[in-house]
Structure 1
Amino acid sequence: MKQFFKNAKYSLPAAIMLLIGCRDESLNPNKPWEPGVHALGVFDGVAETAKANFATNAKTFPLTGQDNSKIDFKIRWVTLDNILTVSKIIVKIDMIESYTDPDGNPKTVSLGSGGRIVKTIEAPAANRQWNMFSITPAEIYTLYKDATVKYDKVNAVKVFENPARPRPAGARLQGPQVVAGKTVANADAFVVTWELTTTDGSVFKVWNEESICLDPTPVSQANSNCRLNFSVK
């Protein structure tokens, strides 16, 4: 009996090594972390205190004089592990139309199904360096001038030709629509998002909502977000 346990003591490590050596790593549910990139987009010209420069409506389009207006932005891509390099940034903008349906219910609809390309930044600046761009009301109009909504649930009507909400010349994008003291449509709203292409051909356009899109860390060069929201005021 003593001899049995003596042999068992020396055979146990060998058995463990045999089991480890035969493990199929492709079946391991704990996959190693892959390299990644994210970005920080902000409204240019807004103080960076407490992330104010990417707060909703940190800048807005004016109600009048839109032909001569624009909003300036800047964006920088970030890598924490310095493995990937971003070779292109695609900036998209979605227009959110607001209205009241025939049953009196407030409605909103995305006209761009997640956004349409408004800017492409080729060969952007290096990691954590700013890239500047601007968006104008005219550019948004060009992207969405043929977009339609079934306001009455049946007939598709071009948003910019909606007789229930006429848009005067020089003010293609509108603020809230008020009828008899009641707001029947909120101001035109916009969502800016981005896609990052790296030199190895990878495309990053979806990130974790809590850790990346709503980055909880203090303001730093490693900060991130996933979108910018603004409207007309």
Structure 2
Amino acid sequence: MKKTIIYAFTIGFLTLIGCRDESLNPIPDWEPGVHGFGVFADITEGAVGSSNKANIADYGKNFPLSAQNADAAKVNFKLRWVSLDNKLTVSKIEVYVDMIESYTDPDGNPKTASLGSGGVLAKTITPAAGNRQWNAFSLSPTEVYNLFKDATVKYDKVNAVPVFNNPATPRPAGAWFNKTDKFVLTWRLTTTDGLVFKTWEPSSICADPTAVSEASANCSLTWSAR
């Protein structure tokens, strides 16, 4: 009798497994993806005054305050896309820049304004290199200034005032940027089949504490004016 029960249970269990409808499985299949890794091209890993991921979060380069010889003060970058499973190919890299200005509001509180509302398209790169290979480019102070020269901020919460022609806090003659200005570089990756990747998991990929490697990735690069 016991053997009959066990046999019947086994047959029933196998029948249930064999009839399982995988379309009802709540766990989706993992899809392929790509992520981007950017560095300041002139900064080497382990540089003085930098963290383990020196090229990623630290201020590796600066723009000059003066507009004179601005083009000679360009910042060099390198970007590469990574497909861990080699299933996707990136056909376009869009580079975005945001300028962050710090100021004090009428109530005396420190504030920051994103002049590009998170980023303005600065360059479009057709990758000349394949998976895990570097693509080099640069940004000059002139290019960045031209992106934001018409930007305005409501410093008093009401009236929009041109950032580079603010009578309340005039910039020195011949100067474009202040020492409190920051610039943030981000990127979007478009694959040959039309997929777009522009955000990555901040707690893992973007905050990877390991040293720079072909599998590492970050979400932005930040520099300032000095």
Could you say whether these structures have the same fold, taking a TM-score greater than 0.5 normalized by the shorter chain as the test?
yes
Q: CA deviation at 1:167?
A: 2.8
In structure 2, give the amino acid aligned to 1:84.
Answer: L
Question: Which string of whole-angstrom CA distances, capped at 9 and with x for unpartnered residues, describes residues 202-223 of structure 1?
Answer: 1001110121111122332221
- C-alpha change, 1:14 and 1:169, in structure 2 (3 Å) is farther
Secondary structure of 1:91's counterpart equals: strand
Q: CA deviation at 1:142?
A: 1.6
Residue 135 (1) aligns with residue 139 (2): yes
For the aligned residues, what is the CA RMSD?
Answer: 1.6
Secondary structure of 2:5's counterpart equals: helix
Gaps of 5+ in 1: 176-186
Looking at structure 2, the residues matched to 165 and 33 of structure 1 have their Cα atoms a distance apart, in angstroms, of 52
Q: Could you tell me which residue of structure 2 aligns to residue 26 of structure 1? A: 23
- C-alpha change, 1:128 and 1:79, in structure 2 (3 Å) is same
Deviating 4+ runs (over 6 angstroms)? none
- C-alpha change, 1:169 and 1:67, in structure 2 (3 Å) is farther
Secondary structure of 2:98's counterpart equals: strand
Q: CA deviation at 1:125?
A: 1.1
Percent identity, aligned pairs only, is 62
Looking at structure 2, the residues matched to 111 and 166 of structure 1 have their Cα atoms a distance apart, in angstroms, of 17
- C-alpha change, 1:96 and 1:85, in structure 2 (3 Å) is same
- Tell me which of 46, 61, 64 is aligned to 2:63: 61
Looking at structure 1, the residues matched to 165 and 32 of structure 2 have their Cα atoms a distance apart, in angstroms, of 47
In structure 1, give the amino acid aligned to 2:40.
Answer: F
| Count of aligned pairs | 219
- Tell me which of 85, 92, 105 is aligned to 1:88: 92
Residue 220 (1) aligns with residue 213 (2): yes
* 1:193-232 aligned within 5 A: 193-232=186-225
- Tell me which of 30, 33, 37 is aligned to 1:40: 37
Q: CA deviation at 1:168?
A: 4.0
Gaps of 5+ in 2: 47-51
In structure 1, give the amino acid aligned to 2:20.
Answer: R
Secondary structure of 1:211's counterpart equals: coil
Looking at structure 2, the residues matched to 173 and 26 of structure 1 have their Cα atoms a distance apart, in angstroms, of 57
